[in-house]
Structure 1
Amino acid sequence: MDPPELPDGLAARFALSPLAGDDLDEVFALATADRVSVLGTSRLARELVELRLTSPFPSTHLGVRTNGRLVQVWDAVLYPGDPEPFCEVNTDPGLGTPPDRDALEAAGWRHIVRWATTVTDDPASGRVRTSLPTLDLARRERLSRLGFVEERVMWVMEAASDAERGTGRTPLPELEIHAGADPRAVHAIFMSGFAGTYGFIELSYDDFVASRSRLPGHDPALWYLATVAGRPAGAMTVTRAAPERSAMQVSELAVLPELRGRGIAGALLHAAFETTRRDGMRLLYLFADSESHDDAPTLYASVGFETVQATSMLTRPLVDP
């Protein structure tokens, strides 16, 4: 798709160009600076930026440059099984005056939405999603003017590897935790345990394994299966997602609905803490949904996790009302 035309007065100052894997260093530096300008720090993994730029799925990536320097990135990816493209705009915090930033960002979103209508099955009822640090009030206001509304907040929760306190729930007597679990059993648990939750995408086994194997710090030895009397009951994947921060991540954890509240999730988290300590890592972190229907954040807090960052998830219709 042809890039959008920039607003009058900006076209002579800024140039647009497609982005790909070769631009990773520049894009990662810009995205990191964007988050640091709001939060004072960034937990953005380089591998996740690379995944965005090199995604084999339908996607669009454009860079805005001035004097050869990348100052803004507009991108969107449509992941398999997900009817809503995930979109993002990152801006160099040192870019000019707010009117310039606002105009360029608006042009980027128009381009992204126009692209999204060409790759979704039903543009009339489709939506686009994005995320931003909850503390970024200025960008939230700009997105609100473009039709975005907040759906929920995702928390980054973090614990020291020695912070485990226990949940107060007595695990089932026949509960066992198995590392290096059969990927098919883990896939079955996740597809059942996450069904109906926010952002759930039902994936075939092959697509599931392919997508998870591309995550930062993936290791099949860190896939765990919880069984009760030999029958699968829950599953968890852990990744070495942030070695530069001496941190590991609980990427996903699910327990079958009929077995929740029986100490299974706590036992899986106990295994994650043990793995973190064994690897000599200092921190364990995970993402929690503020709208969780099974009160997962309370469970996480009970074993020592604390909220360290909040990210707002926003959506807007593809077609303007």
Structure 2
Amino acid sequence: MVGAGVGGLATAIGLRRAGWTVTVLERRSRLERYGTAFGLHPTAQAALDRLGLGEALRARAVRYRSARIRRPDGKVLAALPLERVERKAGRPELLISRPYLIDALLAEPDRLGGTRIVYGQRLTDPDGLGADLVVGADGINSAVRTARFGTASGPRPVGAVAWIGIAGYETGVYGETWGAGRFFGMTPVEPGRTNWYATVPEAAAAAAATPDAAAAQLRAAFAGWHEPVPQVLADTDPATWIRYELRHLHPALPAFVDGVGRTALVGDAAHAMTPNLGQGACTALLDAEALARAVAAHGRAALPAALRAYDGERRRSAQRVAFGSRHLHRFMTARRPALRDALLGLLPG
């Protein structure tokens, strides 16, 4: 296993449950518990249940049941379909802090028991590992993908920069506000805190020399927007904000597995996407559970068939989500939003 993020750890747990001996290689010197909230769709929650992780995750997650899409002046344009998702699936969307999710994956010895996590390992040659199966869970810049599948597919910028952070209070105003070329979102994450995220065009977000300069830049981008957007940015410490360039994997890979049946990709290594649908962690968890299930069902002697089954189950589904997220990003960040807002106004509010 290459990569000790959400997808890598979940895959390691699934393979251990299937009777495999697993070693996880992680390029960082330690696991970094950074980040804010992950959304867990009911399908991802079901995958976690099959991995034996559902109860641990639900203990720290919060339910996400009501959110709205607004204009910068605060006018509500539409409701996010959270209630419809819950009615259809029989369980609500959940939100969980990324550090809690990582901790839950690492928590109990019987999940990762016997699994070695080797830190500070930067992979150069998957063939040199001598493993029966190599799983690339090493993110959008995947060394496993490059080694096995070449560079035709790779990280591509989408022309926007994002920030994420945590406010030390509950705003009570959740959902997203869509402006011209930019948007701002807020979700619950745990009692007494609010997860927030913001995206602006790359041209309006030149790299700032200091956190204070970056804060001034972002606050200016959302000046005059409805409360509590300006207040959230005023009240949170810029030193805790995370800034990153939005990228996705393009073009889509022709396969998530190699032709000889010894390598598979999961998560961002296979289908990195923009965050607009909030499905990055969900698709990684679905990949992990599907790969482990396919390997368990086919057995060690039929590994190529197992990987083909995994690819058949996950590739088109994950790539549809990635495609939808990219196009939603374009819709959300329209530079002339009047038509977009009019279309949203036709939806239930």
TM-score by length of 2: 0.23
Which structure: greater helix fraction?
A: 2
| Higher relative strand content | 1
Scaled by the length of structure 1, what TM-score is found? 0.25
